[in-house]
Structures are given as structure tokens and as C-alpha cells.
Amino acid sequence: MSVTLTWQGPIGPGLFPADPLIFDQLCEAGVYLRIKTYAGNRIVAYAGQSVALLARFDQHLSAMLALAAPLRDSSGAVVYHGDAGERLSAYGNLPGMAALAAADAGRVRFFYALCDDYFHTEHLNLAEGLLQRRITERLSDIENAVAAPGRLPEDVPDRWENDFSGLDAGGRDILATLLGASPMTLS
């Protein structure tokens, strides 16, 4: 069985939709890619899944702005790890750290594919693992290349296609670079 992930986006700072229908869609389940672009077109990716995409996007941005997540400088180098000790120290330079957090959060773009009649919520872990594996094969800068599906549900799709046709040219280029044109498979 084959499934197609129909990619949409980007969503991010300055790009959240005003259209209530798109906003409602963001409250649904799906997989997503969090992309940050740095100097020299360096891309850092994160592949995830959620039963409520908008809530998960909010968590990513809130953690960055709250100094509770790693932050990178303009070249993409991690300059702040977000652990408890480092966080307390960061409060001594709050204006500088707030500027770093705002700059890094401002780079975030989310691309997402919603669950549908063939891509079900019980496939979220599998789809996330396939995306992580694919990106790891093509890019060294993935922030969460650790997840893998545990027990697979029955009748799991074995072929996962990516449809980038709904994206603008820049989005298509980024996702094609990260995910390629060939289907993702379980083998």
C-alpha cells in the first residue's frame, strides 16, 4: 500500500495564516519539518509529528523564546544549549539572549503534511521515523535523528511518496533537497 504526504507551508513567524480554514487545518494531526536556514544556505532540519500541529509549532517557538531550547548563531553553530545552568546564567545577559532567541526563532519555517484517508494517526511515528531517516541520509544537520517506530501497526503502508506540488518554488526546492524524489520505504 502506498501513501502520499501532501506537503503544505511554510508556516512560521510572519507567515501564520489569517484564513480560518487553514488555521483550523493546523489544529489537525500530521507530520512536519521544522527548517531553519543560516548563512551560506546552511539548513538545519527537525522532523516531527503531532496530533495537533499548531500546538506543537507553538511549543517549538515558545521553547526557543523562553531560552529552554538550543539556539544557534547566524552561521548555524549551536551557541546556547538551553540546559538549566546555562539558562540561569543567560538571565544575566537577558537583552543579548533575547535577541539571539528572537533571531533564531525568526528563521523557523514549518512545512507539514496532514493525516488523511490513507495516512492515519497510528502511522505518525512511522512517518516521523521515515522522514528522519531520509533527512539523515541527505543532510548532516538534523536535530532529532533519534526516533524510530516501535511496534508497527497492522496493514502499515510500505511506500511513502512526497507531493510538493502545493508549495512555492522555494519550498519545493528545500523539501526536494531534504527528502528527494524517490519514495520512502520500510526496507
pLDDT tens track for 63-75 = 999 999 999 999 9
Mapped onto helix, strand or coil, the DSSP state of residue 45 is strand
Q: Could you tell me the residue ranges of all domains in the chain?
A: 2-185
pLDDT, tens digit (0-9, with 9 covering 90-100), for 80-117 = 999 999 999 999 999 999 999 999 999 999 999 999 88
Distance CA 75, CA 55 (A): 28
Report pLDDT for 148. Answer: 53
The pLDDT of residue 119: 86
Cβ contact 38:27 at 8 Å = no
Is residue 55's pLDDT more than 70? Answer: yes
pLDDT at 63: 97
pLDDT reading at 149 higher than 70: no
